[in-house]
Structure 1
């Protein structure tokens, strides 16, 4: 039996006039890499990289649960409101966490909705980061499903969410990690996946901001899986082409949750991305 090097703690931040108690994990030392999970999931998606001794030898990998997700509880009074994630609220939480943890210009690595917000931050707050790794990220995709199905009294939103995203996992993914990835979605709280998807499928403000991104100051590297049906390689390529200087890598055998569904397949692409970021 071995004890993993991952350390989990809590930090309280203020954002949007509210107090949030946020759970975060970290491993390693050196260059800080702040990692963002996908919609409806949580920090455990990054556990394999946090346990990778080669990655953590020179990088401090930090991942956190967004409020409402897993160990980060909703704020006080949330029972009387509808959870709908917004670009502005998402950015406020991330920047507040940077301040609370004293992170000076970390690399930001986000997947899915985390990749989308990484590109928003590249356009709006590039001075707070040294580079951006946007995984399964593109300018915008409208929903091809009714997101209200994920918050109904006669259906289990977590199980429905897992059923939906199962089609976004590569057939090359190991069976155990496929199940672990789906289990994270089954754990989602009532209405949380729906609230995340509201941001992901309805906010198209990034389209007009892509031209603001200056990759000469902060590099942007986009990674996409060939088996991603939500953010296709074509979507990612369209987005990369709209950002002068952005680079793109397509993972032939991976899907929408590469760091979780197929960690060994994702590893070389993440190492390549880190090599493109400032040391």
Structure 2
């Protein structure tokens, strides 16, 4: 580790490290949302679209520190398949809501102002830390729990503040590039599918390559390979086939053996 770095624990870097609380819900009053595990989206990012809502009569039971703030690191802490999922909170997701508080299945990591939360978020999100958290879960197979003590004692190699920022910025740059590549890949896959369909459509309409009137008509070809074939030049999908083409069933032009 570089000489200017130091080993510490996550608990030493936090001003608030806690699970949320179990709320009393009143979903017909959509004033105060509750951040649940499903708000940490599987595909990445956070959203309050599926949030439930606190009974306004119980709002005074929530201390100010439970109101999520930009830079808070949110970690799903219950349930196989979701436990350990880590996201970085930003108050921009609130929209018109005054604030949001976490339920008891989400752990909140709020670092001191001198600590770059994006760096800590990147560290906790890394494969080796995620593996460490998975190896230190408690509970039954179907109801795994990430206890707050595991997070509190998590070892962290801490660089100087300015280097934390540089590392976080570099990780953000490459993460954005990776995300763009994924999006472009999805778009490219869709485009390739459209191109293949268009090529086939052009071919079946005789527009992909020049037609040669001296070619043997497909009907004659079918007669030669299967004299019993019923030959037609039209079907429901392509009413006007190029001259010389024909429509047939697949089993008229293939041979196959039944499995023994």
The structure with more radius of gyration: 2
TM-score (norm 1): 0.22
TM-score (norm 2): 0.23
